[in-house]
Structure 1
Amino acid sequence: MKHVIAFDVSMGKSYMVIYSALKKCIFEGEINHSRPDFISLKHRIEELTESYGEQPYIVFESTGVYSRQLERFMNENGFTFCPLNPLEAKLQCDSLRIHKTDKSDAHKLALTHFSTNRLNRKGTEELFLQLKSLSRFYSELDDELSVIRNRMHKVIQQTFPELEKIFTTKSDLFLNIVQLFPHPDLVLLHSKTVIKNKIRKCTEKNISPARAEKKALQLLEAARISYPAVSSSDVLCEQLKSYARRYQELLSSKERCIDDMVRLAQNRIEYHILLSFPGIGPNTAVRLIAEIGDIRRFDNNRQLNAFAGIDIRRYQSGKTFYKDKINKRGNKHLRKLLYIIVQNMIRHRRLGIITLSNTTIN
């Protein structure tokens, strides 16, 4: 049995213990996540490796952003290590954990490593780390878009509510018109021809003069009958313009984010396999790869289901039976993405059947 080095990771530091093959603690102490302390740690690991002819086991609980520095150190120096997710660490250490401190957690992780079969790995490929970061950034942008959209709707109901009936609220044309005419009084300052030309300039799509004129007439009519809650000089008009600009910025950032992910993943074989599935496009394919990571680390589909948290949770005691549910103990981002993908597949299947029926009828 090898030596075991265990870490209890916290913000900016870790509590480290080293146990010999005889399960005796030969070192314990706190290390900072700094270059000098990591250099000392590297020398300590190399000394143990040279003395006993094999690298010691290294185990720690993966605590999100706090453990990333330690993971990078292990990856860059080529050390194999065992990162445990918090639930796994809790289940394995609960039988021994009487009181909880950083010191006791590190000791329990080390001691349970002697009796638990844990898989070591030699770092995560940088590609998957980059994809995961981009995927989480994409989710943050999406959440912010939802917030801005709700704020924009709240304000526009007070300044010029008819705009949401004339234009598609998520279109670039709508967002540009909102910035030009946040209030109906601003529309009435211009003629039909001026408004028509502004509408044609407000979109990159090749909108016809006739359609632009129709929208201009609708806008003028809406401005004449509109009775907003505020005047054109109210601060809400400026707020609305600011929200519209921010919404456009977020949409552009989302597009760039997906472009970066596609550029990173386009040479992976799994990317092209996923694209062959109906209902999966470049957007969902790259985000699926980002959230799953290297799929080859899973031995079977049950492990992948558990990672996503969609494995079945069953409860039966005596004559009491509960309806089967999914565990939801896994990657919530992956579960949400899978739900979207399944919806797309159902939609594609329905449209496919309709098309087939139309073809048959014709």
Structure 2
Amino acid sequence: MKHVVALDVSMGKSTMVIYNQYRQCEVEKEIDHHRPSFEQLHELLQALAHQDGQAPEIVFEATGVYSKTLERFFQDNGYTYCRINPLEANLQMASMRRQKTDKSDAHELAKSHFRVEREQTYQEESYYQQMRGFTRYYDELNSEITHLYCRLHAILQWSFPELEQLFTKRSALFLNIVQLYPHPDEVLNHSKTVICNRLKANTRKNLSLKRAEEKGIALLEAAQISYPAITKEDVRCEQVKDYARRIADLKEKKEQLVKHMVELSNERIEYQVLRSFPRIGETSAVRIIGELGDIRRFKNHKQLNAYVGIDIMRYQSGNTHYKDKINKRGNNKLRKILFFMIKTMITLRKKTKNHLVEYDDKLKTQPQRKPHKVASIACINKFLKVAFHLITHGIHYDYETASPNSESITYNISQLT
């Protein structure tokens, strides 16, 4: 390398230093994250590339949303770069005596680049960036829905607590009934026929006449025995209706996001492979892709485990031995999705054959049986290993091929011998 460009990124600006091959600083300046400064930076990098006959090496520390603009500039102009994890950068730049300033951090990044062998950051397609944005938006909607449900529950205890016992709280029917009848007096003001007709007319899902009558009768009986803490004119009745309306709208938005993600992913091999696994639906498949990104950037499944955060952390010193546990330094959102995916597979085990469920059974029935969570993490590890192989080779999941005791594999082995 002939020149190293190191940047310490902060909000709206970066401190940049340029070191030559003799490890001497030639440039130290501050650049703003806007078009004129980036144009000047582009001219400077082009001049260095023309002077040296090769592009300078660029290194900076990932700083959340603040480094995204700088990264986009490098991608648009075809520059390769090293984006360093903050924890990794801290370990590489550690010293006995150190001052913490933007300038000193930029200098330390440049100096450490000469003694540490760093790999170029893998630049993903825009598809994966879009999927990550959709997935994070989906998670935000989920979080908002959870908060609204908590608020709705609190107010219903004042106005009409029996509603939560009559209907499934997560259903569209429950949300519509809360909007129609937030207070028992609202129910008692209408006849059974009117209530049934309103239920059918205002429910987003198709509701049969028989079921509408059953729900209407149950609603009337609950209203007659209910003793609310507030009157129907109380502002909290309007508030609970607003919460139910907002939850219904957010759920509809979630469905639209999933539909859009599926449309983007239909032709992608990773989506097709994930959907070939039993009990992995559209939502789980697109969310896994959104959080995982391009799986081809990993060299092996062990790197994939570290990214998810299920690699084993072991500590032993002298006679001190701590119990092994997973690292949890990886993507906690993806780890949660995978954990509940395995849980769904185990719950719906009777409907399809799945070697991951069989592996879970094996871990729980062997002489030294594993606890449920330990077995689930082991199943995630196995899933990632299989998925990594299938996606990188463009092969769909097949139970007969995956099962070591299957007749097809036995037949193939016998043919080879």
Question: Could you say which TM-score interval applies, normalised by the shorter chain?
Answer: over 0.9
Structure 2 letter corresponding to 1:221: E
Structure 1 letter corresponding to 2:324: D
| CA distance, structure 1, for counterparts of residue 95 and residue 163 of structure 2 | 62
1:87-117 Cα shifts (integer Å, max 9, x gaps): 1211211237712111111111111111111
Aligned to 2:406: none
| CA distance, structure 1, for counterparts of residue 70 and residue 8 of structure 2 | 11
| CA distance, structure 2, for counterparts of residue 179 and residue 76 of structure 1 | 49
1:2-47 Cα shifts (integer Å, max 9, x gaps): 3110110000000001011111111011100011000000000011
Aligned to 1:163: 163
Q: 1:141–1:97: structure 2 CA closer, same or farther, 3 Å change rule? A: farther
Q: Contact 2:310–2:327 (CA<8 Å) still a contact in 1?
A: yes
Q: Contact 1:92–1:112 (CA<8 Å) still a contact in 2?
A: yes
| CA distance, structure 2, for counterparts of residue 280 and residue 169 of structure 1 | 25
Aligned to 1:29: 29
Q: Contact 1:96–1:108 (CA<8 Å) still a contact in 2?
A: no
Aligned to 1:258: 258
Q: Contact 2:312–2:325 (CA<8 Å) still a contact in 1?
A: yes
Aligned to 1:225: 225
Q: What is the SS of the residue equivalent to 2:131? A: helix
Aligned to 2:76: 76
Segments of 5+ residues of structure 1 without an aligned counterpart are 354-362
Q: What is the SS of the residue equivalent to 2:30? A: strand
| CA distance, structure 1, for counterparts of residue 208 and residue 121 of structure 2 | 59
Aligned to 1:56: 56
| CA distance, structure 1, for counterparts of residue 90 and residue 342 of structure 2 | 33
| CA distance, structure 2, for counterparts of residue 207 and residue 34 of structure 1 | 56
Stretches of 4+ moved more than 6 A in 1?
none
Aligned to 2:356: none
Q: Contact 1:33–1:70 (CA<8 Å) still a contact in 2?
A: yes
Aligned to 2:267: 267
Structure 2 letter corresponding to 1:180: L
Aligned to 1:312: 312
Displacement after TM superposition at 1:122 (Å): 6.0
| CA distance, structure 1, for counterparts of residue 97 and residue 335 of structure 2 | 31
Q: What is the SS of the residue equivalent to 2:243? A: helix
Between 120-129 and 247-256, the greater mean CA deviation after superposition = 120-129
Structure 2 letter corresponding to 1:18: I
Segments of 5+ residues of structure 2 without an aligned counterpart are 354-417
Q: How does the TM-score come out when normalised to structure 2?
A: 0.82
Aligned to 2:393: none
1:266-313 Cα shifts (integer Å, max 9, x gaps): 221011001111232111111111111111111111111111111110
Q: 1:135–1:184: structure 2 CA closer, same or farther, 3 Å change rule? A: same
Structure 1 letter corresponding to 2:142: D
Between 92-101 and 310-319, the greater mean CA deviation after superposition = 92-101
Structure 1 letter corresponding to 2:162: E
Structure 2 letter corresponding to 1:76: D
Q: What is the SS of the residue equivalent to 2:330? A: coil
Displacement after TM superposition at 1:121 (Å): 3.4
Q: Contact 1:78–1:122 (CA<8 Å) still a contact in 2?
A: no
Q: What is the SS of the residue equivalent to 2:5? A: strand
1:211-254 Cα shifts (integer Å, max 9, x gaps): 21111111111111110000000111011001001101110111
Q: Contact 2:278–2:352 (CA<8 Å) still a contact in 1?
A: no
Structure 1 letter corresponding to 2:254: K
Displacement after TM superposition at 1:352 (Å): 4.6
Structure 2 letter corresponding to 1:324: D
Q: How does the TM-score come out when normalised to structure 1?
A: 0.94
RMSD over aligned Cα atoms: 1.4
Between 51-60 and 335-344, the greater mean CA deviation after superposition = 335-344
Percent identical residues: 55
| CA distance, structure 2, for counterparts of residue 305 and residue 94 of structure 1 | 27
Q: 1:97–1:123: structure 2 CA closer, same or farther, 3 Å change rule? A: farther
